[in-house]
Structure 1
Amino acid sequence: MTFRFLGKTCGFMGYFVQYACFTHCTFEYIGDFVMCSGPSMEPTLESNNILLTEHISPRLQRLRRGDIIIAKSPSNPKQNICKRITGLAGDKVRGHFPSRSHVVPRGHVWLEGDNSSNSADSRIYGPVPEGLIRSRVICRVWPFDKITSLTEY
């Protein structure tokens, strides 16, 4: 009887470990859910919106101007940011001061929030390395009455 209980426990643990590994790999390499907070992307995104994101496009360097992305903050690596790509490598973009312009260097992107009057973005900290980009936003899934695709393809 002890062996039967031990066998069932090991079987359950095996399934649990397999499920946990599958879930980890899915959320790490394919896509996950992210909760947006802060006013920088209003009116497109609001605080507490839940977004479905995918990790494949940034890894394959298939990002486009207009994509909304999730990235590590260049000024605080413990924080993630949600911004729109407004400039790719080689683009000439306008900085924080109207008279100052930048050329986005190779391997970098220019990020800006949709709420330009209330957004800390590339206009403040400059071009962002592509290596800091974690994922690309596919759609908003919460709240249910505002479910919408956020890709421009």
Structure 2
Amino acid sequence: MFHKYTFKLVGALGTILQYGCVTHCALEYIGDFVVCTGPSMEPTIYSNDVLFTEHISPRLQRMSKGDIIIAKCPSNPQQHICKRITGLPGDKVRHGYTTYTVPIGHIWLEGDNNSNSADSRIYGPVPQGLVRGRAVCKVWPLHDITMFTTKYVQQE
């Protein structure tokens, strides 16, 4: 009798482990949900908005100007940032009276709220290897569900 329940328990644990592995792989390599905090992307994204992000485009380095991305912060690797790509490798980006050329393997990131955003204007071009995901849509709050399309407009 004890033997019978042991096999059922081991079978159930095996099933849970399999589902856990599949879930981990899906969240790590396909996409996940991110809660954004801070005012740097207002009015597009507000604090506590939840985004669905996909991880395939950054891995294939198929990002475009205007994409909203989640990346590790270059100045604090314990923190993640949510910014918009405004410059790709080889692009010339003007900030004030200075023009920067984005090096190969890097991108230029800026928040939509220029007056309240720590971004590439402070820490320079960001290595593409720090990019974790590309925002696909805002899923929370429910009354403000939004699909993000690439619509980049150069801001003067």
Shorter-chain TM-score range: over 0.9
| 3-state SS of 1:70 partner | strand
Alignment length (residue pairs): 151
CA distance in 2, matches of 1:107, 1:30: 22
Q: AA paired with 2:37?
A: S
Identity in percent: 64
| 3-state SS of 2:81 partner | strand
Aligned to 2:154: none
CA distance in 2, matches of 1:152, 1:93: 18
Contact 1:68 1:136 in 2 (8 A): yes
Uncovered stretches (5+) of structure 1, i.e. residues with no partner: none
Task: With the length of structure 1 as denominator, give the TM-score of the two structures.
Answer: 0.97
Aligned to 2:98: 100
RMSD of Structure 2 on Structure 1 (CA): 0.8
Aligned to 2:131: 133
Aligned to 1:13: 13
Aligned to 1:57: 57
Residue 122 in 1 paired to residue 131 in 2? no
Offset of 1:151 from its aligned partner? 2.3
Uncovered stretches (5+) of structure 2, i.e. residues with no partner: 152-156
Superposed, 1:4-83 pairs within 5 Å as: 4-83=4-83
Contact 2:72 2:130 in 1 (8 A): yes
Offset of 1:4 from its aligned partner? 1.1
- Partner of residue 110 from structure 1, selected from 108, 111, 128: 108
Q: AA paired with 1:127?
A: P
Task: With the length of structure 2 as denominator, give the TM-score of the two structures.
Answer: 0.95
Contact 1:140 1:146 in 2 (8 A): yes
CA distance in 2, matches of 1:75, 1:115: 19
